[in-house]
Amino acid sequence: MSQNADSVSPIRLAVGGDHAGFALKQLVIERFGPLVTSLSDCGTHDEASCDYPDFAVEVAERINSGQADKGLLICGSGVGVSVAANKITGIRAAICHDTYSARQGVEHDDMNVLCIGGRIIGSELAFEIISAFLNAKYTPEERHQRRLDKIFALEAE
């Protein structure tokens, strides 16, 4: 049974994005703000040209400091924010433009940041993907933990 966008597990969410993701970010905040335990808007706050790595850092800092459980980053394609976020220790980010990847990324890989492209998908699909991401829980099966431990080792090098 799938969860709909009006049903979200208790969670603290940090959201950020650049000018190309601004419009979708605002819709996400309106839709999910009332459904999550807390929502941190890490910017940008308008459509003026800006640099996506700045917002990846803001979202990552919220997660790494324990102020947020998961993060959402939105740029034009999702690629830039994903690349930037994955450079930050403790962050496991991926672009997901389907619900299966968003859910499995958390369940198998303990993904803690979802990246989406504001110029790639529409708001209704984005809401479904975000809901799948927010409701997913990591399943610490031996094979998942073994792989995650290898990722931690790579990060430590």
97 is catalytic: no
Q: Whole-angstrom Cα distance, residue 72 to residue 115?
A: 6
Instruction: Write down the catalytic residue from 75, 96, 97, 115.
Output: 75
Q: Whole-angstrom Cα distance, residue 43 to residue 81?
A: 13
User: Which residue reads 């970010």 in tokens?
Assistant: 25
144 is catalytic: no
Q: What is the DSSP string of 41-61?
A: E-S--SSS---HHHHHHHHHH
Instruction: Write down the catalytic residue from 19, 97, 108, 144.
Output: 108
Residues known to be catalytic: 75, 108
